[in-house]
Structure 1
Amino acid sequence: MNKIIPGILSLLALTFQLKAQTGTYSILNFPNTYTNTITTILAAANFRSGFIYQSNGSINFGLTGLKQNNFRFRWLAHDNGAIDYTTDDDQLMFLDGNGNLNLKNNLTASGNIGIGTVATADKVTIDMGATRGGFSMLSDGDAAAYMDMKFMVKNTTSLATGKPLLWEASLRKDGYFTTDLTGPTWEFYAVKKGGGYYAPLLFKSNGDLILAGAQNATNGNVGIGTADTEGYKLAVNGDAIFTKIKVKSYTAWPDYVFEERYQLPSLLELEQFVKMNKHLPGMPAAEEVKKEGMDVEEMNRKLLQKIEELTLYMIDLKKENNFLKQQSQDQITELLKRIEKLEKNN
């Protein structure tokens, strides 16, 4: 490749020394003194022109294509001394008339690109330099989204139905999975083979983080400190701290205990149950809690039920106590009357 630039300069110098040629030519060759051939080709037959360095391998770059196809500027290389114009298998890179730059996997030995630095083992490496840098994407998009970033599986044949074909991060106008039309929203989702979506990570325009999606998307579970959520929407392996927590109940709150039709077990029945089972009726045993964990909402509901039952026991005991107290008082009063009467008789 180092010989190409001097060769081109030599060609430019030779151009001014050539005499005009007349007639019809499909190829115009410029001779040179190099061992290998460096030529400029105007190939009218296939609407190609460019510079060729030809030895055991070939490098070609120049304007190619038909006018009606908007032309393209391309770079080619081949290792067998011949350039294949038919299939363009030798094409390394081309810039089309719309400004799209296309790169093939043999641009370098490993097919990688370095911007601001040499290429590394990664496909693209960008060195931002000593000052603050970034990677920016600007778009007004279509009616649905401003822009998308896609991570796609190339060969999907071996993927099972329901597995993601691609994961996509989308800056959206339509709030597709967040249902937020005030936008823009940032929505990370997957397209599943066979149809449907996963939509596990969504940001609404007010900053809310949503771990579920609309549009009938399949929603997964969240694990913190664990890879196994055991089917729960949120699994945390470790400590958590809250300044306030509210649990919504989906079952009947135990105020039914105060209904007249509620059958409150007798204290004798309660005593017998506790002696046999070592826990209160309706409450889980210690081994069950150790194995299965504890449902906070359910446990609070059951504890309230026991508190309400205990309140009823206390009310009954108070009534009984008052009754006994009144009986005792009546008996004492009667006894005092008898004593007073005996004293008078004596």
Structure 2
Amino acid sequence: MSECFTFDPKKAGWTRFLPVTAFAVIMLGGLAVTQTSLRDVPADRWKGIDNPTRLLDGEATRQFSAQLNSYFLLSKPFAKIERGVTWLLAGDTGVSVRKGCTDWLFLTDELTPFANAADNAAARAKIITQTASDLQKRGIKLVVAVVPDKTRIEHDHLCGLHRPPGFATRVDDWVKILTASKVDTLDFTPTLAAMTEERYYRSDSHWNEHGSNAAAKALAEHLQALNLVDKPKASPDPKAIQSSRVERSGDLMRVSNLEGLPAWVRPATEVTQISKVAPVTVASDDLFGDAGLPPVALVGTSFSRASNFSPFLSQHLGSPVANLAKDGGDFDGAAYAYLNSNEFKTQAPKVVVWEVPERMLPKPLSVSEKKWLASLGPKT
């Protein structure tokens, strides 16, 4: 019987030098191209670069970098080659993204312990508690909707990535703080955890349409159970949602700078459900027209804008939803902007839903959050 040959990298000691060798080749090649490229920089562009003052304050370095970026002949191709090599040899995804199972990417923030995490979460709970009290005085109900981490819900796809055990109770702990302050809160964790299909995109930080739709349905039922909105007279029209399977590249591909690599190098492009939902939401520029404000106003993050969450919510409610969430709005951006707007002051909704991602809770407070917190004064 012929003996099967198996390559054992541990026995091939030379393979340990592959990453170093590849990096050295890239650097030497880059040095040669850089030297050639800098010869094309006009002399007047170097004026003053040898001034001692400019050297000390860093202006000379910035001047050099500017000329290199402008005249480097192979800046983009070279960057792609370097990115491809580091991904292939080391699985490098940059500082903001971590690689889980095959084709699964996760945000580093969801795996990172932050200093004073409990205090930061408590401070955000204080902002929400005071906001709920202020809204209640105007006859407006605040409902907080908590979106669990992708690393929590899709933990089976972490494949060795470490999620600190202390993270297990942080949503429950935060919800308990709000509940003790009589703030109505809905945690989407049980709804998403009970599902058998994938609930988050593989290469994106957000939920997919399966997760988004399930969360929207749970929120609609929650609002209806509290009699905050009328129950729809009929079930959602199945013809209002037209779905198809398409290729989709997520935000984590862009953040990790893998998107521009050839298809055979980078993680596989995900094939997932993308839907067109009948336009039952109100456009922001028409939000306060003659028809008046919809009964539910939604503030929050990109989760409220991703995967048709707001259209799905309006379908399950059977009424329009004013989507005022902001991409990159963090914890407070959308809520603060809306609650301090003239539109809110003159024409408020019956219900404000504040969507909050779990990953926002432990992070250091932003300048805007500190200002908001300071404006509340001491806790009474």
User: In proportion to residue count, which structure has more helix?
Assistant: 2
Name the structure with the higher strand share. 1
Decide which structure has the larger Cα Rg and report it. Answer: 1
Using the size of structure 2 for normalisation, the TM-score is 0.18
Q: TM-score, normalised by structure 1?
A: 0.19
Where relative contact order (Cα < 8 A, 6+ residues apart) is larger, the structure is 2
